[in-house]
Structure 1
Amino acid sequence: MVTRRIWSLVLALAFTGLVQAANTVRIEPAEGGQWELASDRSQAQVFTRKVPGTKVKEVKMEAVIDAPVAQVWQTISDIQHYPDFMPYIDDIEIVGDADNGGQYVYHRVDPPLVSKRDYTLLIVNEADAEAGEYYRYWTQMNQFGPEPKQGVVRLEICDGSWALSRLPDGKTKATYWVYTDPGGKIPGWLANQANTVGLYDVLNAVEKRAKVQP
């Protein structure tokens, strides 16, 4: 989870209109805290850990993707086509560029059994193609996106990252981390279960798409 000090800084700057200065903060899991194995499927394992003061847990997947790292990176970077292959993505719109080279991207999702959700993220990419190392992170920046819509629940917490590296056998080592609250009246235990299962859905979608990349 982003440390409380950094998150408080981002919120404070948002209220003063100076949030651009905070966009250089690299979003990644904080050190420390015990990860617990939640599930294990073939070439992927999902871990969770508690976040003090909240009902929602951080979730992390460690996996091997059966595709070259450049093709996996191309897949997760192809954000404008997420509605074509990413689970539950209903709409995507790039709404602006950030000073740190990232982009503000509006998302609307249509998950099963509950109403639609939406949020705007700051997304930043870091790539070292020669080394075969890639990192993408995101954090909620709703103030840069559209106004809330009637009948759509606005997410207030959505931090995460992809870390990719090339493996000697041509496959990709991937770590996918997310800390998000689906909002609404969803119980904490159900939100945690949905977040855990949802990572496998994302992994399968990315691997399938990456395999057919040119």
Structure 2
Amino acid sequence: MLRNTLSLLLILLSLHSTFAQNQWALKSNTDGIKIYTATVADSKFKALKVECDYDASLSQIVAVLLDVNTCTEWVYHTKSVKLLKQPSPAEVYYYSEVSLPWPASNRDFIAHLTAHQDAETKIVTVDGPAVNGLMPPKNGIVRVTESTGKWIITPVTKNQVKVVYTLHVNPAGSLPAWLVNMFASEGPTQSFKGLRAQLKKPKYANATLPFIVNY
């Protein structure tokens, strides 16, 4: 437990240095889902950090995250998703379109997810930056090319994990402040509630992955 705690602390310290002037401020705390924001140097958009505990195994969480075709079932305002390629069981590229309220244009992006587990601590890191290429831009949809997301999944017990998710994105184009603020708090809260419901589905109940060793 001490080793896990120290490893998580080191990870969070690295995240702290990644986001310059990073003073995480608690924005909301709903149903055990804590949302923090922080300013980022040279960006008008704030970084987000979400913390939540789940009654699930490491494999269950990672199985949901890598099952990208089901994102429309739980990720806030996801209109469509398409798996583009899967080079390995722990790596996927996918396309996603995000639905925004009128008069804003929908956004889309291509993400590259990779999962890695520390052999000693069993902590799992899932990186999900936006990448260029693989699909051309679509008319009427604004392509997001600047986005960095990271999931840190720490085992607490055999069937309980702590999830820390950080995100910084440039949504491109022009968006009204109220819409940016909505996605900064309501979006992560609803997505993490959706993740909790997704984990209860039978297909993930006994999930096992060849590259994940459960606690």
Q: TM-score, normalised by structure 1?
A: 0.75
> For 1:197, what is the secondary structure of its paired residue?
helix
Aligned to 1:88: 77
Pairing 1:14-25 to 2, within 5 Å after superposition = none
**Cα drift, residue 157 of structure 1:** 1.7
Candidates 138, 144, 148, aligned match of 1:159: 148
Alpha-carbon contact 2:74-2:191 (below 8 Å) kept: no
- TM-score, normalised relative to structure 2: 0.75
Q: Which amino acid aligns with 1:166?
A: P
Counterpart of 2:15 (choices 22, 25, 29) is 29
Alignment of 1:76-115 (within 5 A): 76-96=65-85, 102-113=91-102, 114-115=104-105
Q: 1-side partners of 2:36 and 2:74: how far apart? A: 24
Does the 8 A contact of 2:57 with 2:158 survive in 1? no
1:120-139 paired onto structure 2 within 5 Å: 120-127=110-117, 132-139=122-129
Q: Specify the alignment match of 1:75 in structure 2.
A: 64
- Once residues 129 and 79 of structure 1 are traced to their aligned partners in structure 2, the CA distance between those partners, rounded to angstroms, is 25
Correspondence for 1:187: 176
- CA RMSD of superposed structures (Å): 2.6
Q: Deviations over 1:161-207 (max 9, x none)?
A: 11112223732200011111222321356414422221111101111
What displacement does 1:45 show? Answer: 1.2
8 Å Cα contact 1:181/1:191 also seen in 2? no
Equivalent residue pairs, number = 185
**Is the aligned partner of 1:40 residue 2:29?**
yes
- How far the C-alpha of 1:40 sits from its partner, in A, is 1.6
In structure 1, what residue type is equivalent to 2:106?
K
Cα distance, 1:110–1:193 mapped onto 2, change above 3 Å: closer
Give 5+ residue unaligned stretches, structure 1.
1-27
Unaligned runs of 5+ in 2: 1-13, 206-215
Letter of the 2:129 partner, please give it.
Answer: T
For residues 53 and 62 of structure 1, the distance between their equivalents in structure 2, rounded to whole angstroms, comes to: 25
